[in-house]
Structure 1
Amino acid sequence: MILILDSFFTGSHKYWGLELKRRLPFNVDLLTLSGKHWKWRMEGGAYELAQKFKKLNVKPKIIIATDMVNIPLFYAFSEITTEKIPCIMYFHENQFAYPISNLDTDKVLKRDNHYSFINLTSALFVNQVVFNSEFNKNSFLKGADKLLKKLPKNNIERKISNEQIIFPGVDVPRENLKKLSSTPTILWNHRWEYDKNPDLFIRGLKHLQNISIPFKLIVLGKGTEKKEIKSKIEKQFKKELIHCGYTENKKQYFKLLSEATHLPVTSMHDFFGIGVAEAMSYGCYAVLPNHQAYPEHLINNSESGILYDYPDGFNTALENSIIHNKKGTVKNEFLFENVIKKWTQLISSLC
């Protein structure tokens, strides 16, 4: 049995865990905690998970634990070792590069890098480290080196075991990719929150209105169903709007993706971008910031999108993408068929 361990099981973590369980050619179980109170999950989640682990009737051959787990603490509380049960650590994000809210008390009080250090000690402890993007890997290694130089004199060496990149994975589209309208249809399929910079997205749409470029609009993602947000979008883009509001129904979600033609992304931060890959798999042409993990979507795939200088280059890039209408595709490396092959090879090598 392969055990997936996650103390913050929600969003992209939950999507990834459930898909691995469903697709891997092994018996896979999940041992998780709900995605609430992330700091407490990194601090105390290891103890709670260990108590659950001790009650398992069958112990795993391998554990795949996410970056939200204090892995050395979990192994100590569970009274197991990596020699008997090897551990693969999967980084969905890393605390060295994760943006901190201005309201965060640790930031206000200028506290230390405690949560980053949990990531580092876990990575030093495990048998294998896997990242979900090149950006995630590079920012973690850079942050780890920087932190170690700040610490008091020590003999800690940043020796990470054979780090690999395995993308989260997206499906081959099941819907007909033939677009229903000749008018460009712009898609937003992200959380409607500060770090995704929806204000820049709205300014870009208004720019298109001001220069009389016609378009249709589909707005998805958590937060877009809120009354104040939905009413604002409906008022400003009444003529263009096809849909506004979050949908948990996957069939409806992918149907709306299949109707879209363009994906402008205004996010300040992303360690991968599952929503971007999903939209591109449905033929959306991507307008992406030239930072974070976004350029990786266009490596060996440059005809599927455009990179812009963030944030000032957004309006021009959006306008050009609409005028010169092209179709996007997702990289083969992002498809589950190839992702599962890499996971199968890695797990088999440790069994």
Structure 2
Amino acid sequence: MSILLIEAFYGGSHKQLADLLQEEIEECVLYTLPAKKWHWRARTAALYFMQTVPANANYRYLKGMKKLCNYGFSLPSSQLYLFGLDPFCLLKQRRLCISWILFASSVLNLTELIALRPDFGKLKKVLYFHENQLTYPVQKCQERDFQYGYNQILSCLVADIVVFNSAFNMESFLTSIGKFLKLIPDHRPKDLEKIIRPKCQVLHFPIRFPDVSRFMPEHKLAHLEKITGFRGNEDTYLFRCLPFQQKYRATGSLMKTSSSSPESGLCEAQSGLCTTQQERLQYPLTSLEKLNKSKASASTNQEVPCQEDKQHVTFNPCNLLSGTDYQQRPLHIVWPHRWEHDKDPESFFKVLLKLKEMDLPFHMSVLGETFTDVPDIFSEAKKALESSVLHWGYLPSKDDYFQALCMADVVISTAKHEFFGVAMIEAVYCGCYPLCPNALVYPEIFPAEYLYSTPEQLFKRLQNFCKRPDIVRKHLYKGEMDQFSWAALRGKFRSLLTTEPREDL
């Protein structure tokens, strides 16, 4: 192993990235803490990892050993023995010197960890920012909140390379350092932005897009068939992709995409690269006949696919597929974000309640992870909007999650805090029409057509979509998603995690 991955908040996008790097990059070892009580992870994770990560003599990167290795490799092999140097030993030692890298997210106080574990000090240290605390929208500003942003600044000073998942994340952090440090009453440090900026770079969060064609509802597949010209028989579908979707083999491995038409933006199947679906569609009840059978089954107290438990309203295809034509079905709105105040669920539910007051038809799925403190608005909204709910709660199964996204029409963000937005990109990948604030990272990710500036604009867009859901169901996304795929970013991450340590050590 050569890469030490440390994740102090092992959940959500943090977990997704850590798992991806461990699976895709050779010789990684991962140490984590569960994604609970974020503030305590930021305060105490360094002490935990100081005791948990075992000591390893190979972590020690000695200046003398590097000079010896460099000097040895500048000599012919025949002369190495004259100096008592074994070339095979040198090769091994040189590899140990240059291969160890410490990769951690910015939740970890890297400064504390390096002080507590001097053997880590000589490693190349890469700090990855999923978010930054200098611009985090706290509910109540208190003096103790200062420590989180301050710790991230210190971690940047200790790190060799600082990586941000978006340009917005990087610039909002760097340009806020000066203002943030003015909170210090006196003896303020100077020019920290100038010191940190040369270490910084943007490397988008990599997403490993799965094959979701088996989850696509009939109307999406029919639309793709119409515009691509690909048709399968009654039992077989040729594999096809969304306008921005990577192709996968049946095993899930990535396939190369052909050149796309600049007008349609569609991926075209290459000869020999199409796969066949052994089953027409995995998603149930794609015809009125099957729907009627399901209702009959329910009336006789047989097994029913739509049940409710104490915590969640399960995904309900019976309600979703009501009607003989998909164009007659209500608009399906999905909100797939963390259940926390920085995602501004209040604004989202306020808009939906207004739609309900106007008797506009819509369905909704509220997904996303929950943590210790859940805003009260969720229980209130669930009660008020219960008749429109198809699913309510976190879906731990990736298949279930992507299935829910594939069945939705519109994905909404009302976030006050977003530096990348994995959930939004995944939903768009699954064919959802995105509506995002014209702020934060969203203008960097999505074309202007999908941005709104006020809650009133969001309401008007949804009002029109509720009246004419066919507008979004026939729409082809006009942005690019390939740039966020692991296939596109793999080489950059490998390069980041294989370069040599600092020369000044």
For the aligned pair, the TM-score class normalised by the smaller chain equals 0.7 to 0.9
Q: Secondary structure, in 3 states, of the residue corresponding to 1:80?
A: helix
Q: CA deviation at 1:200?
A: 2.2
Q: Secondary structure, in 3 states, of the residue corresponding to 2:136?
A: coil
CA separation of 1:38/1:193 partners in 2, compared to 1, >3 Å: closer, same or farther?
closer
> What residue identity is the alignment partner of 1:121?
L
> What residue identity is the alignment partner of 1:75?
I
Q: 1:105-144, aligned counterparts within 5 Å?
A: 107-108=141-142, 110-111=143-144, 113-144=146-177
Give the structure 2 partner of residue 170 of structure 1.
207
Deviates more, 1:138-147 or 1:89-98: 138-147
In structure 2, C-alpha distance between the alignment counterparts of 1:198 and 1:43, rounded to whole Å = 27
Q: CA deviation at 1:242?
A: 2.8
In structure 2, C-alpha distance between the alignment counterparts of 1:117 and 1:234, rounded to whole Å = 41
Q: CA deviation at 1:207?
A: 3.6
In structure 2, C-alpha distance between the alignment counterparts of 1:318 and 1:138, rounded to whole Å = 32
Give the structure 1 partner of residue 18 of structure 2.
17
Q: CA deviation at 1:150?
A: 5.1
> What residue identity is the alignment partner of 2:334?
L
In structure 1, C-alpha distance between the alignment counterparts of 2:190 and 2:341, rounded to whole Å = 40
Question: 2:350 aligned with 1:313, yes or no?
Answer: no
Give the structure 2 partner of residue 185 of structure 1.
332
CA contact (8 A) 1:88 1:127 kept: yes
CA contact (8 A) 2:355 2:463 kept: yes
Q: CA deviation at 1:217?
A: 2.3
Q: CA deviation at 1:153?
A: 4.8
Which residue of 80, 95, 104 corresponds with 1:65? 104
Question: 2:262 aligned with 1:261, yes or no?
Answer: no
In structure 2, C-alpha distance between the alignment counterparts of 1:111 and 1:256, rounded to whole Å = 40
Give the structure 2 partner of residue 4 of structure 1.
5
CA contact (8 A) 1:66 1:92 kept: yes
Which residue of 329, 341, 347 corresponds with 2:491? 341
In structure 1, C-alpha distance between the alignment counterparts of 2:462 and 2:426, rounded to whole Å = 19
Deviates more, 1:335-344 or 1:123-132: 335-344
In structure 2, C-alpha distance between the alignment counterparts of 1:39 and 1:232, rounded to whole Å = 27
In structure 1, C-alpha distance between the alignment counterparts of 2:398 and 2:57, rounded to whole Å = 34
CA contact (8 A) 1:17 1:30 kept: yes
Q: Secondary structure, in 3 states, of the residue corresponding to 1:348?
A: coil
In structure 1, C-alpha distance between the alignment counterparts of 2:364 and 2:358, rounded to whole Å = 17
CA contact (8 A) 1:266 1:289 kept: yes
CA contact (8 A) 1:220 1:244 kept: yes
> What residue identity is the alignment partner of 1:36?
K
In structure 1, C-alpha distance between the alignment counterparts of 2:392 and 2:183, rounded to whole Å = 47
CA separation of 1:283/1:173 partners in 2, compared to 1, >3 Å: closer, same or farther?
farther
CA separation of 1:280/1:51 partners in 2, compared to 1, >3 Å: closer, same or farther?
same
If the length of structure 1 is used for normalisation, what is the TM-score? 0.85
Unaligned runs of 5+ in 2: 60-98, 219-325
CA contact (8 A) 1:186 1:261 kept: yes
CA separation of 1:344/1:36 partners in 2, compared to 1, >3 Å: closer, same or farther?
same
- Provide, for residues 108-152 of structure 1, a one-character-per-residue CA deviation record: whole Å limited to 9, x for no partner: 4x4572221111111011110001122211111022122345541
Give the structure 1 partner of residue 39 of structure 2.
39
> What residue identity is the alignment partner of 1:243?
H
Q: Percent identity?
A: 29
Give the structure 2 partner of residue 332 of structure 1.
482
In structure 1, C-alpha distance between the alignment counterparts of 2:432 and 2:165, rounded to whole Å = 22
Question: 2:385 aligned with 1:236, yes or no?
Answer: yes
Q: RMSD in angstroms over aligned alpha carbons? A: 2.9
In structure 2, C-alpha distance between the alignment counterparts of 1:56 and 1:320, rounded to whole Å = 62
CA separation of 1:56/1:281 partners in 2, compared to 1, >3 Å: closer, same or farther?
farther
CA contact (8 A) 1:2 1:64 kept: yes
Q: Report the count of equivalent residues.
A: 338
Q: Secondary structure, in 3 states, of the residue corresponding to 2:53?
A: helix
- Provide, for residues 268-324 of structure 1, a one-character-per-residue CA deviation record: whole Å limited to 9, x for no partner: 2222111111101111110001111222221xx45xx51111434321233345544
> Which structure: larger Rg?
2
Q: Secondary structure, in 3 states, of the residue corresponding to 1:97?
A: coil
CA contact (8 A) 2:434 2:450 kept: yes
Give the structure 2 partner of residue 52 of structure 1.
52
Which residue of 206, 216, 221 corresponds with 2:363? 216
CA contact (8 A) 2:177 2:192 kept: no
> What residue identity is the alignment partner of 2:385?
Q
Q: Secondary structure, in 3 states, of the residue corresponding to 1:349?
A: coil
| Greater share of strand | 1
In structure 2, C-alpha distance between the alignment counterparts of 1:243 and 1:69, rounded to whole Å = 34
> What residue identity is the alignment partner of 2:339?
W
- Provide, for residues 235-279 of structure 1, a one-character-per-residue CA deviation record: whole Å limited to 9, x for no partner: 6352x4332332111111111111112112112222211111110
Give the structure 2 partner of residue 199 of structure 1.
346
Give the structure 1 partner of residue 27 of structure 2.
27
Q: CA deviation at 1:49?
A: 0.9
CA separation of 1:284/1:81 partners in 2, compared to 1, >3 Å: closer, same or farther?
same
CA separation of 1:4/1:81 partners in 2, compared to 1, >3 Å: closer, same or farther?
closer
Question: 2:395 aligned with 1:247, yes or no?
Answer: yes
If the length of structure 2 is used for normalisation, what is the TM-score? 0.61
Which residue of 84, 88, 91 corresponds with 2:129? 91
In structure 1, C-alpha distance between the alignment counterparts of 2:384 and 2:183, rounded to whole Å = 51
